[in-house]
């Protein structure tokens, strides 16, 4: 059975560019942490339809922030089996130009890319989880202001 060259190229591009983030997602527990942030009761303060959409970006944020903060330590220790180095190899083998001496993609290019992606994910999370005034009232924000210790007489 023969596979066409275009199918091989598409598969190769998918494998090269998508496998490091996929491996990172599957090697951590970020989705469980992301889901555990929110109450899962009938009287939860943030509607399910709001936060369920944010879970993929929250999981990405949790995983990648850990990798970004660990990068310096891992570089000093010479560790190369991590998201940043795996993704660097994927991107450089696909011919993406970087800031290396010969125009090659470097781990520092990947670090900058991941920082940009975390910023974008943060903006998406903020947009998804932001409650408008009507929703804040419905979710009890007004009650929490009234019950604040600032307003309780001593």
Q: What is the DSSP string of 67-128?
A: HHHHHHHHHHHT---SHHHHHHHHHHHTT---SSTTS---HHHHHHHHHHHHHHHHHHHHHH
Amino acid 145: pLDDT: 45
pLDDT of residue 77 exceeding 60: yes
Rounded to the nearest angstrom, the gap between the alpha carbon of residue 15 and the centroid of all alpha carbons in its chain is: 20
Q: Work out the widest C-alpha separation in the chain, in whole angstroms.
A: 82
Tokens 């943060």, located at residue: 122
Residue 108 Cα distances to 47, 89, 148, angstroms: 39, 12, 46
For 37-76, what is each residue's pLDDT tens digit? 776 566 666 777 778 899 999 999 998 998 999 999 999 9
Other C-beta atoms lying within 10 Å of the C-beta of residue 56: 16
pTM: 0.68
Residue 102 Cα distances to 16, 86, 95, 111, angstroms: 21, 20, 12, 18
Domain layout of the chain by residue ranges:
30-139
> Is residue 80 within 8 Å of 7, Cβ to Cβ?
no
Other C-beta atoms lying within 10 Å of the C-beta of residue 75: 16
For 23-40, what is each residue's pLDDT tens digit? 666 667 888 888 877 765
Alpha-carbon span 101 to 92, nearest angstrom: 13
């Amino acid at each position: 059975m023969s596979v066409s060259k275009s199918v091989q190229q598409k598969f190769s591009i998918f494998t090269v560019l998508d496998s490091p983030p996929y491996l990172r997602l599957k090697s951590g527990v970020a989705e469980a942490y992301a889901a555990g942030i929110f109450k899962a009761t009938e009287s939860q303060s943030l509607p399910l339809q709001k936060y369920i959409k944010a879970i993929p970006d929250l999981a990405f944020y949790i995983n990648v922030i850990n990798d970004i903060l660990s990068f310096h330590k891992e570089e000093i220790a010479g560790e190369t089996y991590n998201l940043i180095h795996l993704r660097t190899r994927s991107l450089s083998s696909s011919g993406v130009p970087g800031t290396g001496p010969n125009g090659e993609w470097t781990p520092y290019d990947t670090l900058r890319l991941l920082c940009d992606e975390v910023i974008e994910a943060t903006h998406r999370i903020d947009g998804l989880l932001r409650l408008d005034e009507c929703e804040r009232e419905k979710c009890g924000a007004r009650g929490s202001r009234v019950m604040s210790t600032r307003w309780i007489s001593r």
